[in-house]
Structure 1
């Protein structure tokens, strides 16, 4: 199914952002997951990170997204000229950053099955202190923009895999986070649905001036991004621009 949004995307005044990781090292016991990885992601850019299992790509995403802290190195987020060093933050500060500056899309959505589609999208705003009515009023236009108008009250089990991933994409956008991280967002989908979800993801991120970092095994997904980084043994060993 080809993705077609049914209404313009909400305009949330996305702030400019640049995310820079420098010489990241992360070890788990005797295993070195990251061995000096560095990269820079600009505003409105989609970057794919590829590599074999165990190459360090998910660890790199988690360090850049303030999910974990590196053992050494720097992760700096610059939003509208204000720089924050992520690597040195404590867990409370990292949690606040994840809630306000970053959006997340996972392979299996990580949606709450007991909530409706609308409630799932509104949830990040409510966690940040917005009243329920205001949060749901902000969430509904994102569902409509991603082709889910009329499905607001469906629970996740009543949606197809592609529809559920679009709910996850809407949830990642509703706070106007300038950077979105996607970890194998199409990994559980067939090729046609994968194309549909990638269209939605790129529309909701690059199309709105947001930055996207996507970890993927799928060359077809990587081909849709502006740059592709290849990882091996915790290092970025090659960078390329897809040929279209």
Structure 2
């Protein structure tokens, strides 16, 4: 199992700063279905939060609105990055795209990796989109892959990797821009239980283990209980909000 110290390819040792996230009165409707119904959440920097609920409860819609992938119908979303405060709902489409590209990390169930690219190219892609040279991006991406236990696999295409290895690539890709917050949508949903435990450990070490904030949508109770806090949604509303105590109890 990888440890936090193994997961930081930087030469510095300072913990990264996480983002504070707050939403008030968040609503989102699809036709006659209200996916989010006046949701209020406050997430402090460095916290890991699992979002759970049955299919159709609004958990993925919530993640997409909080991260600026979707625009909410009403409500406010304030993202407190280390260098500035961003009112996400006030940004244009281009502004939200820039925010995601420069400040947010993402991990999805199927990885959303580009099959035509190698593992190191997939990992380096966010850096190159932000203007880094190919050589710089590839070099830094290779460090992250090595920290994920994928040294020597840089030139493999995604189809040549196992599901767990591909998710490690996705986690590495989410980290290369040094994000203050990472959003993960069912990151272990396509994995067997043993691999899910390993991938979740790596994800937590790469995020909250380094002072970042993590928001995870999951249907897996074991995954959720690895986080510090569990929000449960039903019909677009938060029906419970539980935080793990210092003694490990809920």
Could you tell me the TM-score, scaled by structure 2's length? 0.93
Write the distance in 1 (CA, Å) between the matches of 2:178 and 2:102.
Answer: 8
Does residue 1:63 correspond to 2:81, yes or no?
Answer: no
Counterpart selection for 2:197 from 195, 198, 215:
195
* Equivalence for 1:93: 95
What SS class does the counterpart of residue 53 from structure 1 fall into?
A: coil
Counterpart selection for 2:229 from 227, 230, 236:
227
* Equivalence for 1:205: 207
* CA displacement at 1:80 relative to structure 2: 2.4
Does residue 1:29 correspond to 2:31, yes or no?
Answer: yes
Does residue 1:9 correspond to 2:11, yes or no?
Answer: no
What SS class does the counterpart of residue 25 from structure 1 fall into?
A: strand
* CA displacement at 1:111 relative to structure 2: 0.3
Could you tell me the TM-score, scaled by structure 1's length? 0.95
Write the distance in 1 (CA, Å) between the matches of 2:211 and 2:228.
Answer: 13
Across the aligned residues of Structure 1 and Structure 2, the Cα RMSD in angstroms comes to: 1.6
* Equivalence for 2:161: 159
Write the distance in 2 (CA, Å) between the matches of 1:125 and 1:59.
Answer: 27
Question: Which sections of structure 1, spanning at least 5 residues, go unmatched?
Answer: none
What SS class does the counterpart of residue 111 from structure 1 fall into?
A: coil
What SS class does the counterpart of residue 20 from structure 2 fall into?
A: strand
* Equivalence for 1:172: 174
* CA displacement at 1:38 relative to structure 2: 1.3
Q: Is the Cα–Cα contact under 8 Å of residues 17 and 46 in structure 2 kept in the other structure?
A: no
Write the distance in 2 (CA, Å) between the matches of 1:81 and 1:228.
Answer: 28
Question: Which sections of structure 2, spanning at least 5 residues, go unmatched?
Answer: none
* CA displacement at 1:82 relative to structure 2: 2.1
What SS class does the counterpart of residue 87 from structure 1 fall into?
A: helix
* CA displacement at 1:79 relative to structure 2: 1.5
What SS class does the counterpart of residue 89 from structure 2 fall into?
A: coil
Write the distance in 2 (CA, Å) between the matches of 1:7 and 1:78.
Answer: 28
Q: Is the Cα–Cα contact under 8 Å of residues 111 and 156 in structure 1 kept in the other structure?
A: yes
What SS class does the counterpart of residue 90 from structure 2 fall into?
A: coil
Write the distance in 2 (CA, Å) between the matches of 1:45 and 1:29.
Answer: 34
Structure 1 stretches of at least 4 aligned residues deviating more than 4 Å after TM superposition: 2-6
Counterpart selection for 1:54 from 48, 56, 65:
56
* CA displacement at 1:131 relative to structure 2: 0.5
* CA displacement at 1:15 relative to structure 2: 3.6
Write the distance in 2 (CA, Å) between the matches of 1:16 and 1:202.
Answer: 13
| CA-to-aligned-CA distance 1:77-135 (integer Å, 9 cap, x gap) | 11126211001211000000000111100000000111110000000000111110011
| CA-to-aligned-CA distance 1:201-244 (integer Å, 9 cap, x gap) | 00110111110000000000001000000000101110112455
What SS class does the counterpart of residue 104 from structure 1 fall into?
A: strand
* Equivalence for 2:105: 103
Q: Is the Cα–Cα contact under 8 Å of residues 3 and 205 in structure 2 kept in the other structure?
A: no
